[in-house]
Amino acid sequence: MRKTLILAATATLALAACSKPDDEDPAASEAADIASSEVAPAEPAAAAAQESAAIPQLGSIPVSLPQLAYVYDYRWRMAADEIGSLQRRHASLCEQQGPAVCQIIGMTKTGELEGEVAGELEMAVATRQARAFGALLEDEALDAGAEQVAAEIASEELSKQLVDTEARLEARKELRDRLQQVLRTRKGTVEELVEAERSVAAVNEEIDQARSWLKEMEGRVAYSRVTVHYETGSAATRDFFGPVSGAIGSLGAIFGWVVALLILVGAIALPVGGVWWTGRALRRRLAAPAPDPQ
């Protein structure tokens, strides 16, 4: 029914367009009203679509993750003659990971096998692999019979320092560009140009320093510091013979000190006693009465 009315209205409007304006047919006006009433409902939908398009779409808000520099610290206790072997195994384990994952920063070992021995291995490990690498170090130490004394993971927040350094770097770059523009245009007195050159040199030095700080902090975030400490000592035991063996060991040390003291006393007493005995013999000989000539 609607299509018939629309077609009729269209035909009527065409006939009315061919006639004079003064001879306008009332039926044509009515048909035009009907046609406009049929088409009008589509206009609000178009207006709504235009209004919806005019509303700005909100994008996702960027989130800055905290920049953390991690420090791993492990401490192992074992026999003195096993420290060097475990230390070398840990160093080899680091080298096997490749320089992109692990690098040895330093390795030290002090002490004698008969006494206390201490060692330290310091490494830089890629942060994403640091925890897994710590587990590998633990497996090697347990295989060597070592006892873990302590394990610590610490971190330092560097986000603010990184942002401040980057902002300072950009500001110094802009200042350098302005000073270089003054030098290129050669506008100003000789003193001003000389001062501008000095300022450019000072700003370049600050830029290099800021870049160095930025690189150092980025390196600390990308690579964690892993330090392994080695020390002598026996593992704690809870059996019956543990305290007994410890007491016997203490008695051996005490007897050793007693013998050492006796040797020291003897080393001093023998010479002194020999001098005293010689002097006494001389006094007796001199005090003896002279023989009778008869």
Contacts of 188 (CB under 8 A, 6+ apart): 182, 196
Contacts of 223 (CB under 8 A, 6+ apart): 103, 124, 125, 126, 127
CA distance 101 to 69: 16
Given CA atoms 263, 269, 271, 274 in this order, what sign does their dihedral have? negative
Angle between helices 2-18 and 26-39 (to 10 degrees): 130
CA distance 197 to 190: 11
Structure tokens that stand for 90 in this block:
């840990």
**10-residue mean pLDDT series, the chain (294 residues):** 43 42 45 44 47 45 71 94 93 95 94 82 95 95 93 88 84 85 77 81 86 86 95 58 61 75 79 77 70 56
| Helices and strands counted in the chain (H then E) | 8, 5
Structure tokens that stand for 171 in this block:
């500001």
User: pLDDT value at position 269?
Assistant: 76
CA distance 169 to 181: 18
Residues in the chain: 294
CB neighbour burial string for 45-74, b if at least 16 within 10 angstroms, e if fewer:
eeeeeeeeeeeeeeeeeeeeeebebbebeb
Given CA atoms 226, 229, 234, 237 in this order, what sign does their dihedral have? negative
